[in-house]
Amino acid sequence: MKNEDLVSRLNFIISEIERIDKENHTEPDEPTDPRIVKLLDEGTAVQTELDLLVRETFRERPATLARWDEIMHMCDDNEQQADS
C-alpha cells in the first residue's frame, strides 16, 4: 500500500473510532466495543506497514530514523498506558 493510502487509512480508522465512541461510549471499566477493537487492530497493522516504509525510505538518514524511533516509542508508551 502506498504511503498516502496508509495515512488515509489511518485517518479513516481514527474517524470511525471517534464516531463509534460517540454512538456507544464506554467507561474504562466496561468492555470495549468490538468494532473499536477491530479498528484498533487494523490501525496497528497499518502502523506496522508505515513503519517499514519509513525505515526503508530513510535508511540512509540516521537523524530522521532516530526521530521516527522517538515517535514510534511514544506510540508504544501510549499503548502500554491504555493496557494498564
Which residue, among 79, 84, 78, 56, has the nearest Cα to 68 in the 3D structure? 56
Q: Which three cell numbers stand for residue 64?
A: 530522521
Q: In angstroms, rounded to a whole number, what is the distance separating the alpha carbons of residues 66 and 54?
A: 11
State the DSSP H helix or E strand holding residue 44, giving kind and residue range, or none if neither.
helix 34-57
pLDDT tens per residue, range 43-59: 999 999 999 999 999 99
The cell for 61 is: 538518514
CB 35 within 8 A of CB 25: no
Higher-pLDDT residue of 77 and 7 is 7
Q: pLDDT band for position 74 (50/70/90)?
A: confident
In the structure grid, which three cell numbers stand for residue 13, read together?
Answer: 480508522
Domain boundaries, the chain: 3-83
